[in-house]
Structure 1
């Protein structure tokens, strides 16, 4: 029996069902027919909310990122201390949130590393950089003013930090995906994360180790299978 729901509630339901099916069969193998059947809606209902399966992917990514930024903005509003201390706390908060929502991320984030999705990946990365800038620039400005960070130009420095996190971070995952064993995958990510974090510390004039966060090698190792599953899935998208 189909139940009438408000438009936004119905859209959220479709995204929830899609996320659950992604965890079971993967996004590539998921069909629109399967999604609408599981959600107990007509196929036309799907197309009322989403233009295509690619549009569904964008919606899943967008919802995940929106939730992350809501958390970051809320955390930033509660922070106290020096600019460096606030920067470190926000980085730790972001890492904690992403770790807690890693299952959701596995459903669609690996798809951004498929070669055919490269333009989409850079489009999204560019959008995320703008939103991250709004959160982190005030912390760099504060750190510059209170002397906890050694920065000449907060705006240019923030842009440089974001390019390291986003651009260099993406290339780090590309290198990891080119490895052939889980051990090499973990080693590439561990060394890469440490190096990128160290570079951010130097650029901000922070002491070594200021922004290093604990990274679980076993956790990274477990991430390899979902990434490879997404990359090795069928290239066609069933209607």
Structure 2
């Protein structure tokens, strides 16, 4: 039988290469800081040629913006999964799940959030008044009001108010560092979300 032809190495999909660059950049940014990290270090960490970087990103700032977007999407994915675990008519549970999943997402990636939004903040603060997390909470509040689960005059305003309250709490230095402290924090956030809609909190 003829020998098998030598297999040629397969080129990784562009999305996989981009993800590897982002993973390497995130690790280096957290270890060394944005300014101290070089593009060559990022490409070495990702195991690609330096020129490959520019096929996916224009600069380190471009990578940071992609990390911001991925962070927020990851938090939203966790929220959606948590809400899907609740019954169709369990609006109380959905709101509680939203607050807990959102807070958990921030706490689990506190280092990345601080890097991407505090140490090197975006050019504008629009994200605190409009982002996919606020949009999702707005939709949840409006849907619950439509089903008479709660009364809310302005779901959009309330979503911004609640998101920023949660955001401020979870970004306090040293917050929720032990399992017991985190559990207590999550219960308190959930209780405040529920009370704001006139729902029993379980802590009353």
TM > 0.5 fold call: yes
Q: Whose Rg is larger?
A: 2
Find the counterpart in structure 1 of residue 6 from structure 2: none
Deviations 1:4-34 (A, max 9, x none): 3221111011011112223432334221121
C-alpha spacing 1:170/1:118, structure 2 compared with 1 (3 Å): farther
1:100-129 deviation per Cα after TM superposition (whole angstroms, max 9, x unaligned): xx2x44135344224x73534x1333442x
1:207 corresponding residue in structure 2: 200
The residue correspondences of 1:152-191 to structure 2 (distance < 5 A) are 152-153=152-153, 156-166=154-164, 168=165
Gaps of at least 5 residues in structure 1 are 184-191, 213-239
Distance in structure 2 (CA, Å) of the matches to 1:91 and 1:199: 9
Which is helix-richer, 1 or 2? 1
Please list the CA deviations of residues 62-103 of structure 1 after superposition, one character each: whole Å capped at 9, or x if unmatched.
Answer: 11222222232233334214312211122223334444xx2x
Q: 1 or 2 for the larger relative contact order (CA 8 Å, sep ≥6)?
A: 1
- Cα pair 2:39 2:50 within 8 Å, conserved: yes
User: Is the alpha carbon distance of 1:126 and 1:11 closer, same or farther for their aligned partners in structure 2, counting shifts above 3 Å?
Assistant: farther
Q: Which residue of 1 aligns with 2:98?
A: 90
Deviation at 1:163, TM superposition (A): 2.9
Q: Which residue of 2 aligns with 1:109?
A: 114
Computed over aligned residues only, the root mean square deviation of the Cα atoms, in angstroms, reads 3.8
5+ residue gaps, structure 2: 1-8, 176-184
Q: Aligned in 2, Cα 1:137/1:117: closer, same or farther, shift over 3 Å?
A: closer
Partner of 2:145: 144
TM-score (norm. length: structure 2): 0.70
